Copies of this chain bind each other. A is one copy, B any other.
Amino acid sequence: MSALINTAFSEPELPFYSPSGSECLLFEHAYRNQLPVLLKGPTGCGKTRFVAHMAEKLGRKLYTVSCHDDLTSADLTGRYLLKGGETVWVDGPLTRAVREGAIVYLDEVVEARKDVTVVLHPVTDDRRLLPLERTGELIAAPPEFMLVVSYNPGYQNVLKSLKPSTRQRFIALEFGFPAPEEEARIVASESGLPRDRCVPLVRVANALRELTGQDIEEGASTRLVIHCASLIASGIKPEIAIEAALLQPLTDDPEVMRALVRIAEIALG
């Protein structure tokens, strides 16, 4: 598995990304027109990688934030910390991105608490302003600043969704898994396992993805296929690697597990 380093750190090579449609073009034009972008798609299909790729291509630093139930606007904008008996303001990742003209990526944005709208709304309408209510500052975003958010519509519940007033601020791109040959090429490149040995693993993954929403919540991601190939390349027997890396992460139900093993056997031929 290659040691891909986050684009926020100065390194020369462009993170590998294989486009499957017009997503690169749309992202670039959204950037040039200062429009925020929303990425939709299943787990591990390459959304994070895509943003890293585009950030590098556009020559912009990237700040990534994994959103969660307790993430508040202060986690994005910053907060006061006590230093030497004095409160000192420390910028959050969004504020840093606005000041530096960077790209900020909020992964699984629907997980964040509702007060993030207080900062997302003014930076995503034509004002492009970041209000820091605690300090009273109002920062105008430079043209180079870009906001990207993502979420997975597959297991998004009713309670957690973006309000229309938030959604309708974004250009939205839908992501899926790459085509089989393409995915085999990616898996081979990331794991070091020869491409012809990756093809049956991708076939297993695609057979599992057809069960999404029925017996399993989500099919195996490209990331899991790479894990599996890495274990095989490292010397683990294929059937053991497939069970540990492709099947066990998908279910805890013994009966479903038996069905997955059977499906994998059939897919392998």
Contacts and interface: CB of A to CB of B under 8 A. Distances in A.
B221 A4 contact: no
Interface in A150-181: 152-156, 163-165, 167-174
Contact of A29 (B81, B221, B231): B231
A153 B257 CA distance: 13
Interface stretch (A113-121, A194-202, A261-269): A113-121
A87 B81 contact: yes
Nearest to A226: B126
A35 to B, nearest CB: 6
Interface residues on A, range: 35 or more
A114 B70 contact: yes
A246 B86 CA distance: 49
A38 B116 CA distance: 24
13 contacts: A4-B126, A6-B127, A6-B129, A29-B231, A70-B115, A75-B133, A90-B134, A164-B217, A167-B249, A168-B223, A168-B250, A169-B223, A171-B245
Interface of A: 1-6, 8-9, 22, 25-26, 29-30, 32-35, 38, 40, 43-44, 48, 64-73, 75, 80-87, 90-93, 96, 107-108, 111, 113-118, 121-122, 125-129, 131, 133-134, 136, 138, 140, 152-156, 163-165, 167-174, 190, 217-218, 220-221, 223-224, 227, 230-231, 234-236, 240, 244-245, 248-250, 252
Given A1-B34, A38-B248, A81-B87, 7 more contacts: A29-B236, A44-B165, A93-B133, A111-B117, A168-B224, A171-B248, A173-B244
